Structure 1
Amino acid sequence: MIERIAASKIEQLATQFKSVAVTGPRQSGKTTLSRSLFPDKAYLSLENPDVRRFALEDPRGFLSRYESGAIFDEVQRAPELFSYLQEILDESPSPGRFILTGSNNFLLQQNISQTLAGRVAIVNLLPFSTEELFGNMTDVPDENQLIFKGLYPPIYEPGIPPEDWFPNYLRTYIDRDVRQIKNITDLIVFERFMRLLAGRSGQELNLTSLAVDTGVDTKTVQSWIGILESSFIIYLLRPHFKNFNKTLTKRPKVYFYDTGLVCSLLGISAIEQLPLHPLRGALFESLVVTELVKQRTNAGRPVNLYYWRDKTGREVDIVIDNGLTLIPVEIKAGKTVNNEFFGNITYWKKLSGATTGYIAYAGNQIEERSNGISVMNWFELLKRGV
């Protein structure tokens, strides 16, 4: 079993809070990790119709069987349990009594905020990070292989080929999670919407354009974006609003949490197609952005990542806001350093007064420029933990 970085944070929180909720996309390893960290706790999946029926029809009787605690998997499937869990947790001083997992962040967060606020710590568990898979490697992993395969655990353990796994994952996600969140009648249109969105990965989110291309209204597209975000399929990177320039873009950029899923949605069926694919740059950028997100969620830290773009088209891919300092990061899919890499980040540094910055690219050359900009391989940047 591949060691998960988030494990230490979950164990720590289980000694401080009465309950811990582990959320994340379907098949990200929530159940495997929870059961390995708490092997003495009973395990119940609320996806099981018999278990769910018992929990819904007799919640007191159901919970009375697990007075010493339990792992409740996909607990958002039985929202009525949360009120009864509140009563039990309030009466018990023991920390880490119940471990709750769920693949729908919206439903889980909604129930926690309504009934269990202050009693439950929440940890987001995303698919494998490159640090978890390759942290001890001195060689840089092949970015094309990573982009194509993605980082969902079943691709590595037990090793299901991505071209077989992703279509089935997509079908399961749409049939189960999408129906659970919102009763969408035309799932074929929703799947077409996902494929259109995959083609816009790394771009500003334009609801109107998506609505026209999908054939639905903008309110529907906005609702569907919420579904994908709450079920950890997409990540919206918000613009940084510090007023260095009054004519800033205010729309978020959209990224999929997993590039392997994007490849599947785009019909990329072999690694050999990637080097010349028109979206390779956007896919490489998605890989780096989501790895930066995972670094923060695995450590239980806020995701302090933004992007900056003005109306003239000048853009910095990532702005890391550390409160007192801002660190720009430009992401380039090329393997050769050239002067075009430096234009936007140099311009932004002059506006912001930032003293350091990074260019993460696919090559292996490392440069430390006199203007405070460091050029390095994307994997090296991640290992430095900026």
Structure 2
Amino acid sequence: MRYSKLKPETYISRSVDSQLQALLGAFGGIELCGPRWSGKSWTAQAFGESVTRVDESGEIYADDPQLALVGDAPHVIDEWQDVPAIWNVVRHRIDDSANRSGQFILTGSSTPPESEKRHSGAGRIARLRMHTMSLAETGDSTGAVSLSGLFEDRFEPMQSHLGLADLADIVCRGGWPALQTGELTNPKAVAAGYLDALFEVSMPHAGKSPVLSRRIATSLARNVATSATMGTIRSDIAALGDVAPADATISSYLEEFRRNYFIEELPGWDAPIRSRSRLRTKPKRYLCDTSLVASLLGVDPSRLLKDGQLLGLLIESLCIHDLLVYVSALPESYGSSLRYYADADGLEVDAIIELADGRWAAVEIKTGESKVEKAAANLTRLAAKVAANPAARNPKPSFMAVLLGKGTMARRRGSDGVYVIPIDTLGA
């Protein structure tokens, strides 16, 4: 990996590093986007030769956006969205240079509203999504079982080392880079600080109420890993004694949460690529980091260990989070490569990985070994349904796996070929 002289001393390599390096050789600009505090600035700095921090002197760059472009390439423009006009200035500079590659790295913790007139940047500025750190990045997973390897039929058994107490600690700690480097040491304070910044600064900046923002977020946390309806969110708010907001109001808050990368939405999947089910199925919602769910619900690791149902939902959230990181690193992945399956017959599968070349895999997520048989039966049932569908684009899955929170060993079952993979053995 070719890092720059600006790479922070405590920088921990990230899953997106190789992607960023490749994109710098192909595009004039790259936008690193994702939740605040997920490490975008450090990653950009690790590859940049100069830096403009827009949030430190926004009024200067608002007066003359061209000033934000001054510096050696690749030039990092941190938190560019604070002065949205910078985007078009960068695009014009890239155009004027005949799209010379590797000029700019922009980082953004939110997307400017649609009212801001700006070019899409297509062909000039590539978009690279970041998440908080996966277990493979924090060192809690060996990463010995490669997701890309599973698609290529490469696999070696591997022992697991995490117990439920470890997982409870991890989901409450989250994947915040500052906690891994020792820059910050209090996980509870990090999650609370993130939420305060979102509810008290970002949401009011968009004209949203801090109180209602927190209420809706708490409902999302209570219903994490589900397709919570507007009615469910409305009922949760009414239960707190507040006047229930209209659906349009709730929708506007959810949109603002999306713009701030606070929520992740998993779309539905069906084997035929043009199936209406992909559009009709409500998305499942997750928060961008498991520690935010724990903070909003007011639980710590000891309390989680006494609430098996909530721990199971947070382990599912952790697994989906890590799958999002690992799937995005696959060469044939695209924006909606990670989905879920649910049909009218009551069959549900937690995660479907679909690649641009048509290959797909099915993954069930369970807390521990006792649920493996049922999960494997679900997977084989789905495979049979897809195989019987004449409209399926690619009827045979590349692999099927049960992803576990606490497991004994990553292995392949002889009876049905289903992999059993503890989350602390999985990597990109």
**TM-score by shorter chain over 0.5:** yes
- The partner residue of 1:272 within 293, 302, 305 is 302
Residue 235 of structure 2 corresponds to which residue in structure 1? 212
Moved more, 253-262 or 337-346: 337-346
Residue 140 of structure 1 corresponds to which residue in structure 2? 161
Q: Against the structure 1 CA distance between its residues 145 and 211, is the aligned structure 2 distance closer, same or farther, given a 3 Å change threshold?
A: same
Q: Against the structure 1 CA distance between its residues 199 and 370, is the aligned structure 2 distance closer, same or farther, given a 3 Å change threshold?
A: same
The aligned amino acid for 1:87 is H
Q: CA deviation at 1:344?
A: 2.1
Residue 151 of structure 2 corresponds to which residue in structure 1? none
The aligned amino acid for 2:415 is S
Task: Say if 2:268 and 2:277, in contact at 8 Å, map to a contact too.
Answer: no
- The partner residue of 2:420 within 368, 375, 379 is 375
Q: Confirm or deny that 1:231 pairs with 2:237.
A: no
Matches within 5 A, 1:192-207: 192-207=215-230
Moved more, 138-147 or 23-32: 138-147
Matches within 5 A, 1:342-361: 342-353=376-387, 354=396, 356-361=399-404
Matches within 5 A, 1:39-58: 40-41=49-50, 43-48=51-56, 51-58=57-64
Task: Say if 1:238 and 1:251, in contact at 8 Å, map to a contact too.
Answer: yes
Q: Against the structure 1 CA distance between its residues 88 and 189, is the aligned structure 2 distance closer, same or farther, given a 3 Å change threshold?
A: same
Matches within 5 A, 1:50-69: 51-60=57-66, 62-63=67-68, 65-66=70-71
Q: Confirm or deny that 1:27 pairs with 2:72.
A: no
Residue 289 of structure 1 corresponds to which residue in structure 2? 320
Q: Confirm or deny that 1:179 pairs with 2:179.
A: no
The aligned amino acid for 2:86 is L
Residue 360 of structure 2 corresponds to which residue in structure 1? 326
Q: TM-score, normalised by structure 2?
A: 0.80
- The partner residue of 1:364 within 408, 415, 420 is 408
Moved more, 285-294 or 92-101: 92-101
Q: Residue 45 of structure 2: SS of its match in structure 1?
A: helix
Residue 13 of structure 2 corresponds to which residue in structure 1? 3
The separation in 2 between residues aligned to 1:298 and 1:319, in whole angstroms, is 16
Q: Against the structure 1 CA distance between its residues 191 and 118, is the aligned structure 2 distance closer, same or farther, given a 3 Å change threshold?
A: same
Computed over aligned residues only, the root mean square deviation of the Cα atoms, in angstroms, reads 2.7
Q: Confirm or deny that 1:126 pairs with 2:124.
A: no
Q: Confirm or deny that 1:256 pairs with 2:301.
A: no
Task: Say if 2:290 and 2:314, in contact at 8 Å, map to a contact too.
Answer: yes
Q: CA deviation at 1:264?
A: 0.6
The aligned amino acid for 2:231 is T
The separation in 2 between residues aligned to 1:110 and 1:202, in whole angstroms, is 31
The separation in 2 between residues aligned to 1:64 and 1:8, in whole angstroms, is 24
Task: Say if 2:268 and 2:282, in contact at 8 Å, map to a contact too.
Answer: yes
**Cα-to-partner distance string for 1:191-237 (whole Å, 9 max, x where unaligned):** 01101110101111312221232221111111222222222211111
The separation in 2 between residues aligned to 1:222 and 1:20, in whole angstroms, is 30
Higher relative contact order (CA 8 A, sep 6+): 2
**Cα-to-partner distance string for 1:46-71 (whole Å, 9 max, x where unaligned):** 212xx2111111234x2574476632
Task: Say if 1:367 and 1:374, in contact at 8 Å, map to a contact too.
Answer: yes
Task: Say if 1:204 and 1:252, in contact at 8 Å, map to a contact too.
Answer: yes
The separation in 1 between residues aligned to 2:119 and 2:287, in whole angstroms, is 29
- Count how many residue pairs are aligned between Structure 1 and Structure 2: 374
Q: CA deviation at 1:370?
A: 2.2
Unmatched 5+ stretches in structure 1: none
Task: Say if 1:30 and 1:101, in contact at 8 Å, map to a contact too.
Answer: yes
Q: TM-score, normalised by structure 1?
A: 0.88
Moved more, 349-358 or 212-221: 349-358
The aligned amino acid for 2:263 is I
The aligned amino acid for 1:163 is K
Q: Against the structure 1 CA distance between its residues 136 and 250, is the aligned structure 2 distance closer, same or farther, given a 3 Å change threshold?
A: closer
The aligned amino acid for 1:44 is T
The separation in 2 between residues aligned to 1:17 and 1:73, in whole angstroms, is 18
Q: Confirm or deny that 1:70 pairs with 2:75.
A: yes
Q: CA deviation at 1:115?
A: 5.4
Q: Residue 279 of structure 1: SS of its match in structure 2?
A: helix
Q: Residue 44 of structure 2: SS of its match in structure 1?
A: helix
Q: Confirm or deny that 1:240 pairs with 2:240.
A: no
The separation in 2 between residues aligned to 1:115 and 1:337, in whole angstroms, is 46
Q: CA deviation at 1:109?
A: 9.2
Moved more, 226-235 or 65-74: 65-74
Unmatched 5+ stretches in structure 2: 1-10, 144-158, 238-243, 388-395
The aligned amino acid for 2:407 is G
Task: Say if 2:160 and 2:424, in contact at 8 Å, map to a contact too.
Answer: no
Moved more, 17-26 or 168-177: 168-177
Q: Residue 358 of structure 1: SS of its match in structure 2?
A: strand
